[in-house]
Every structure is written in C-alpha cells, then in structure tokens.
Amino acid sequence: MTSIKRTTLFQALRRMYTDSTVLAITLAGMALFILTLITLRGQLEQHLQLVARTIAYSAEAAVLFEDQRTAAEILLQIAEREQLREASVSTVDGRTLARHRYRGSGMLGHFDEAAGRLLFPEPIAAEIRSGSKHIGNVVVHGNGARFIIYTLQAVGIGLGSIALFFYAASRLAGRMSQRIIAQLEALASATHGARLQQDFNRRVPPLDIVEFDQLGKDFNALFAELHARNVELIARQSSLEVANQTLSQLALRDGLTGLANRRGFIERLEKALDEACDSGGKVGVLYLDNDRFKQVNDQYGHAAGDALLVEVADRIRNCIRDTDLVARLGGDEFTVLLDSVRDVDDAVLVADKILAAMAAPLEIGEARVAPAVSIGIALYPEHARTADQLLTAADQAMYAAKQNGRGQYRIFGPDARHCLNHGESSE
C-alpha cells in the first residue's frame, strides 16, 4: 500500500495562507500598477491638452500680428515651466513663429526623451483663434520625466502598502491557524468520549493531515456501531413523514367530491383576506345549497344523492378560475372563494355561470334529476372583514335566495338582516 505523506495541520494551514496571500498580493499589485500607469498617462495627456490650449490663448495676439519675439517668449516660459519635450507655434498657413525643444544632458536626457516619445508618440495640437477665425496652431510633445517621477512615487507607495498588508496578513494567518488547531484538537478529544456514548452517525474518508486523519478514524469507529440503528431510524422516520403527509392532505379534502373541506376552505380564505388587506383588493365568497336535495335522497337513495353532489361539484369547478377555490362544507352545502375580484359584478358573473351550468338534467339510472342551487354572495371588505363573518353573510344571503323562490342568487345587503337581488334596492 502506498503511504500517504502527511503534514501537521499547522504546516498545511501556514502553507495555504502563505501561498494564497502571496498570489493575491502579486495579482493585486500587478493590476494596481497597470491601472496606475494608464491613469497617469491619461491625466498627463489631459494636462498636455490644457497646456496647448493655454499657449494658444496666450499667443493669440502674437500670432495675429505675427510677432515672433513675443510668441517665442510666451512659448519658452510655458514650455520650460511645464517641461515640454517640444512645442511650436505656427500660423494657419504653416509658417512657424516660435519653436522650443527640450534637450537634456547625458544619458538621463536621452532616456527622458526616449520615454517621452514612447509615452506620447502623437503630439497634442490646439487651434489659435481670434474670435471665430482660425489664425494658427499650437503643437506640443510630452516629456517622460514627469511621468517617470509620478510612476516611481506610485510604485514606492504601492510596494510599501503591499509589504504592510503582507505582514498583517501573515500575522492574522498565524493566529487563525493556531486557533483552528486548538479547536480541532479539542474536537478530536471530544470524539473519544462520544465513541463510548455512541452519539454520531457519519463516515469520514482517509485524510492527508495527521490531526484530521486521526479524528476521522475515531468517527468511523462510532459509525460502525451506529449503522444498523440509524438505518432503522431513518426508515421509521420516512414512514412517519409519508403518513403525516397523507393525513394532512386528507384533513383538508372532502372524501366524496375531492374538493377542499371546511378546514381547507377556511385556511385558504384567511390567507386570501390577509393578502387583500395588504394590497387593498377584494375577495368574494359564494355560499351554495342544493335545492330539494333531501327529496332526491328520499326518492332515489343515498347513492343517487352522492352522485348528484359529485356532479354539482364538477359543474361548479368548471365555472371558476384556476386561482379560485370550491369547497364542500358538509351535506349539500358548497362554497366558492373568488380571489382578487374587482367588484360584486365579478361575483354575480360567476353565480350566473353556475346557475346556467345546473340547467342540464342529470341521469341517475333511469331517473332524470335536475340539479338546482341557491346562491348567496358576500364580498370583502364591503360585507365582512373576517372569514367567519364573510361565510355568515354569504350564508344569510343564500337563505334569502331560497326564501325568494330557489334557483337564484342573492347579494348580502348593507344591513345583515336584509339581502338583495342583483339590481334591487334595500327595503
């Protein structure tokens, strides 16, 4: 078997921190240096443009009168102050009135000139204008001395900052390494006690760090003892979760129609009311009761009554949107939650669709049964502000519809004791 070369945790962490810190500092330093060069060159180029415009402004009169002496004095004063490599003032037809050229001495001068040609290969030009008339031109060439000085200053500051950062990072890395080692050694000590108590259930692969490898062996010794017990426990938990999910679904569904039951409807209604309260919207509730359902049960039997309820549930479900909810509260009573309605007319439209859907007779065996429902309508927040109050209002409106002749809808009126037909006024 090939042996694994192991190191101490402190050595591994120190190597990792050192390598990552050196790499990060090197990349950051290079990026900063390049950015500094680009920024300095851009600033110096903008400065040259400003110098060229200054010369053009100052030499306007000299060019206008073709005064070579004055132009030369102006050019010499500004060029020496700004350390320009070369500068010239000429008329619009190309005649040179003044020219200045910087000549350094020795190798430094040649290096300075070469740097200037490299950094500013293209001259900077500016027009000399008298009013709106173009009377001459100024051409300047940048000098590399200032750029070199600024660059050296930036490099010095950058190197100092990097050195300071590296020192601080090294100190922090050392402290962090020692802290991690102390915590892991304490954890390794705790695992020996946990092995006797049989508290853990994990697997650790072989590791190339001595401390971690020893810790993994201790954990694996515990895993062997707990494996069978954990498998059984997981199986039981899985069965319980499936059973709980099934029970939760059954607790919110009606067994006959597959619709939501009273509990499921109330939970959904309360959530819809909270959302409507936050958004300022409206919620509609339709309370439906089958007309003469008891007669169908008595005449054709409970099986026929169940078939009627299933058919009515399907027809109601086909009349609402996917975002709405229909539920069976119990017996032959149904409710519809209309989420996000604009006004009572939206609820009335749904009620009309449901009443129209009940027009077709239902064949149960050899009998033909005509489904019919009475509908009560209530809206949040006009008629009620809680789920119970809204159901009560819709229920009262439904009973008013039954008393008025069945097979129709009524809207809960302003007074809880009065319910109105759509379009009628309160009495």
Which of 397, 292, 276 is closest to 335 using CA atoms?
397
> How many alpha carbons lie under 13 Å from residue 17 in its C-beta half-sphere?
20
Q: And the tokens for 147?
A: 């750029």
The bridge status of strand 96-101 relative to strand 282-290 is unpaired
Which sign does the torsion angle of CA 14, 15, 16, 18 carry? positive
> How many alpha carbons lie under 13 Å from residue 354 in its C-beta half-sphere?
32
CB 387 within 8 A of CB 349: no
Task: Give dist(CA 75, CA 89) in Å, integer.
Answer: 8
Catalytic residue positions, numbered: 332
Instruction: Please name every residue paired with 327 in a beta bridge, in sequence order, or none if there are none.
Output: 260, 335
Task: Give dist(CA 419, CA 399) in Å, integer.
Answer: 9
Enumerate residues 6+ apart whose C-beta is below 8 A from 2: none
The answer to whether the bond into 121 is cis (omega within 30° of 0) is: no
Q: With left for phi above 0 and alpha for psi between -120 and 50, is residue 273 left, alpha or beta?
A: alpha
Task: Give dist(CA 145, CA 363) in Å, integer.
Answer: 104
Task: Give dist(CA 350, CA 58) in Å, integer.
Answer: 85
Enumerate residues 6+ apart whose C-beta is below 8 A from 209: 6, 7, 8, 9, 12
Helices 302-317 and 293-300: crossing angle in degrees, nearest 10, is 140
| Burial state string for 46-67 with b = 16 or more CB within 10 A and e = fewer than 16 | eebeebbebbbebbbebbeeeb
Per DSSP, the three-state class of 91 is strand
Which of 186, 184, 187, 223 is closest to 203 using CA atoms?
223
DSSP letter (8 states) at residue 372:
-
CB 367 within 8 A of CB 359: no
DSSP letter (8 states) at residue 320:
S
